[in-house]
Structure 1
C-alpha cells in the first residue's frame, strides 16, 4: 500500500512539474517577445478564432483569467495600438475585440510561428499518442474538478 501511495505521489508530482514547465515555456516565450503572458494568450485566442469573435468575458472563460487581469491587458494592448474594442449593437457594455494592423503584424510575427511549433511538436508525438494524451488529460481534469468540488462544498463554484 505504501509503495503504491509513493508511486501515485511521484506521478502527481511529475505531472504538476510538467504542467508548470509548459506554463513557463509559454511565459518565457511571451516575455522574450516583449508581451505579457495575458497579452500573448489574448492574441493567441484571437488568432485561433475569427477576429472579433471574443468579448472580454469570453476570454476570461476561455483562458481562466479574472476580469481584472483581462481588462488590464486589453487596456495596455489598446494603448500599444494592438487592439481596438467596439461595442456590440444593442449592448454597449459588451465590446468585441479587433486587431489593428499592428496587432495583425504582431500575431503573424509572434503567435503564428509558435502555433506552428506546437503543431510540429504534437505531430512528432504521433496522432494516436496525442489523442490518448489529450483524452486522458481531459478526463483527469474533469475528475480532479469533481474532487475539488467535494473538498470545497459551499465555496465559490469552480
Structure 2
C-alpha cells in the first residue's frame, strides 16, 4: 500500500467528515435532525413538490429514514403530504406556512453562506473541485464494486 496515498486518503475522509459535522451541528443548533434539515433544504432549494422516493434517490437516504423525518416534520406542521395527481399512492411534500417561515430563517441564510464561501474559491477552482470529487466517487465506486464482487463469491 502506498503510504502517501493512504495518508492523503485519511485526510480526505477526515475533511469529508468535518464538512458533514458542520452541517449536522447547524441542523442540531436549529433544532432539527440531520435528515429533517436536508429535507427542508432540498424543498427550499428546488421550490417545488417532491415525493419521498425522489428524496431518497437524490439524497441517498433510506426510505425508513426519510419516512421517519417526514412524520416528524408533519407532526410539527412544517410540511404537508398531498397525494400526487399522477399516482395517489405517492405523496408530494410541500412546506406549510410554518415550514416556509422556518426555511427562510434557517435554510436560506445557510444557502447564502454556502454561496459566499464557494464563490470565494473562484468559479474555475470550484468547477475543478466538483469535477475531481465526482471523478473520485466514480473511481471509488468501481473499486468498491470489485471488492463486492469478490465478497459475494
TM-score, L = length of structure 1: 0.92
Contact 1:51 1:99 in 2 (8 A): no
Measured after TM superposition, the shift of residue 89 of structure 1 is 2.3
Contact 1:59 1:65 in 2 (8 A): yes
Measured after TM superposition, the shift of residue 50 of structure 1 is 2.6
Any gaps of 5 or more consecutive residues in structure 2?
none
Q: 1:85 aligns with which of 66, 81, 85?
A: 81
TM-superposition CA deviations, 1:83-116 (whole Å, max 9, x none)? 0000112422111000000000011000000000
Measured after TM superposition, the shift of residue 51 of structure 1 is 2.2
SS at match of 1:93: coil
TM-superposition CA deviations, 1:70-94 (whole Å, max 9, x none)? 0000000000000000011242211
The 5 Å alignment of 1:67-106 reads 67-106=63-102
CA distance in 2, matches of 1:47, 1:56: 15
Structure 1 104/154 Cα, relative in aligned 2: closer, same or farther at 3 Å?
farther
Alignment RMSD: 1.5
Equivalent residues, number: 152
Q: 2:14 aligns with which of 14, 17, 29?
A: 17
SS at match of 1:92: coil
Measured after TM superposition, the shift of residue 129 of structure 1 is 0.9
Structure 1 124/145 Cα, relative in aligned 2: closer, same or farther at 3 Å?
same
Structure 1 90/134 Cα, relative in aligned 2: closer, same or farther at 3 Å?
closer
Structure 1 48/155 Cα, relative in aligned 2: closer, same or farther at 3 Å?
farther
CA distance in 2, matches of 1:17, 1:94: 38
Q: 1:31 aligns with which of 16, 28, 31?
A: 28
Tell me if 1:140 matches 2:136: yes
TM-score, L = length of structure 2: 0.95
